[in-house]
A and B are shown apart, each in its own frame.
Chain A
Amino acid sequence: METLRLLNIIEKNARAEITDLAAILNETEKDVADKLTDLETANIICGYHTVINWDKTNTERVNAIIEVKAIPERETGYDNIASHIYKYPEVETCYLMSGSCEFMVIVKGKTMQEVANFVGRKLAPIQGVAGTTTHFMLKCYKFEGVVLESEEEKNERMLITP
């Protein structure tokens, strides 16, 4: 089975049914199901998420990208500091970066104040963290390959063409 092809399909549509995946990949349902289990066990598939445009719901929600400068530790480098950062549930995403900062952290909160409190009281005091720069996100246009609100019209093709 072409594993990459399977991953590419479910990366775009986590809800694809096994029956459909089998038909698309020209494989048996059992083989597809087994392969998915293998990929989950191997932590290659790490979760199945939904892309939600929270701006269209009436929830209070802010996201911030935080640049974190850090000083590496002997033996563990940045990994230990990272784990102190990413274990906070406020942290949605955490990357080790090249460039002017060491970590790029995406944090969610209900209000700007809440995010500011997280940065000031939890993130900045972590040992090894040398500084932070917080950027609040104002609007999400595209997320995980999905344009949230396309200005392009849904262009219908003609019903039948030669």
Chain B
Amino acid sequence: MIDVKELNPIVVNCPPSGIRKFFDLARAVEGVISLGVGEPDFPTPWDIREEAIVAIEKAKTFYTPNQGLPELRDEICNYVKRRFDLEYTRENVLVTVGGSEAIDIIFRTLLCDGDEVIVLTPGYVAYEPCIKLARGIPVCVELKEENNFRLMKEDLEKAITPKTKAILMNFPGNPTGGIMRKEDYAEIIPLIKQHGLYVVSDEIYAELTYEGTHTSIAAFDEIKDHVLVINGFSKAYSMTGWRLGYILADKELIALLNKVHQYAIMCAPTISQYAAIAALRRCDEEVVQMKQSFEQRRNFLVNSLNKIGLETHFPEGAFYVFPCIKSTGLTSDEFCERLLKEYKVAVVPGSAFGKEGEGYIRISYAYSIEQIKVAVERIGLFLESLKENN
């Protein structure tokens, strides 16, 4: 018999993910069509898979240096220079087990007991728990639809206290698809500088920015030494299962992060690291093609949802739309549960991404046009049935 009261209360009291609950519900429904996933549907480009096979054949199967293969770190630097005009050298790079490990070790490194971290919500499900597990206090700032889910200076300003240690951002964002342009960041940079905040910027969806190119907050030199960029291979190269991400930061910070990383993880998977070198050297074109596919699917989904009367704006990044469903009179949970049970379509309730997501649903367009078409038809029938019953 286990007495949970004597165990870590932060873990014991951590609520289970709302996504998990919904996953269990969806699994029980026969013939369900899902628009509920947070990963691309493309197989990893063959060039990358072949490189991994070669790595196995050549027995490149040992630990790598903790920080990651030097040639991979060099290629990451070349990549972020080429794509986002960021200047880093290999001392600034730590290769991690996906962006997920990066989030975890960053907060374990940055936070002292009771430090506050500003978190933007609705947001990715792992952020708040990781901050709490690192004994920090998440302070939520709401991203509002009327601002295209961008962070506004006045909202940020209100949330800053003397205990604020860091701000965690995710643009392009899950679940909103919101992005920050250079001019949007310019508004908040002085505030960040003035309060000496660390910026943890999860830019895992950077390549999926549709109009124009992605701006990294690390491009602002005046705060760069306090910025920790999280990025990785999952979304851009369709490599979710390879579990490979990285952190870009000041080299003193990297050295500290590497202490947590080396004791917790040792190193990121070696085979994935070799494959990632091929990705960075040879797969720019594949990235562009996948992005174009996503953009076409986005257009198709948004236009189709508008046609069936679910008003949806064009998100500028990632692969999610986040429409408001308040007009139906249902909560997010009710909407998604009924849509699932009555019309067999799985989408994720906005409330799974924080209470500020209540009244919204997250629909992923990491699916083929054919699948999106069938799902939207069913959503349309569901909306009609709601109207008839009112």
Contact A160 B299 (CB under 8 A): no
Contact B19 A23 (CB under 8 A): no
Contact B37 A159 (CB under 8 A): yes
Q: What does the 1/0 interface line of B105-147 toward A look like (CB < 8 Å)?
A: 0000000000000000000111000000000000000000000
Q: What does the 1/0 interface line of B335-372 toward A look like (CB < 8 Å)?
A: 00000000000101000100000000000000001000
- Tell me the chain B residues, 298-357 only, with Cβ under 8 Å from chain A: 299-300, 303-304, 307, 346, 348, 352
Q: How far is the CA of A26 from the CA of B307 in the complex (A)?
A: 13
Contact B126 A160 (CB under 8 A): no
B41 within 8 A of A: yes
Q: Report how many A-B pairs have Cβ atoms within 8 Å.
A: 59
Contact B299 A162 (CB under 8 A): no
Contact B125 A24 (CB under 8 A): no
Q: Interface range on chain A: under 10, 10 to 19, 20 to 34, or 35 or more?
A: 10 to 19
Number of interface residues of B (CB under 8 A): 31
Contact A26 B299 (CB under 8 A): yes
Q: A5-B292, A23-B299, A23-B304 are in contact. Are A160 and B19 (CB under 8 A)?
A: yes
Residues of B within 8 A of A5 (CB): 292, 296
**B17 smallest CB distance to A (angstroms):** 7
Q: A159-B27, A162-B126 are in contact. Are A9 and B296 (CB under 8 A)?
A: yes
B38 within 8 A of A: yes
Residues of A within 8 A of B346 (CB): 159-160
Q: How far is the CA of A160 from the CA of B346 in the complex (A)?
A: 8
Q: What does the 1/0 interface line of B269-302 toward A look like (CB < 8 Å)?
A: 0000000000000000000000010001101100
Residues of B within 8 A of A20 (CB): 300, 369, 373
Q: How far is the CA of A159 from the CA of B364 in the complex (A)?
A: 11
* Residue of A with least CB distance to B41: A157
Contact of B23 among A9, A22, A160 (CB under 8 A): A160
Identify which of B37, B125, B174 gathers the most chain A CB atoms within 10 Å of its CB. Answer: B37
Q: How far is the CA of A25 from the CA of B295 in the complex (A)?
A: 9
Contact B124 A162 (CB under 8 A): yes
Known: A23-B300, A160-B26, A161-B19; 17 extra A-B contacts, CB below 8 A, are A5-B296, A20-B300, A20-B373, A22-B303, A24-B297, A24-B299, A157-B37, A157-B39, A157-B41, A158-B23, A160-B22, A160-B23, A160-B348, A161-B23, A161-B37, A162-B19, A162-B126
A-B pairs, 10 with minimum CB distance:
A160-B36, A23-B303, A160-B23, A24-B296, A162-B125, A159-B34, A24-B300, A23-B300, A159-B26, A26-B299
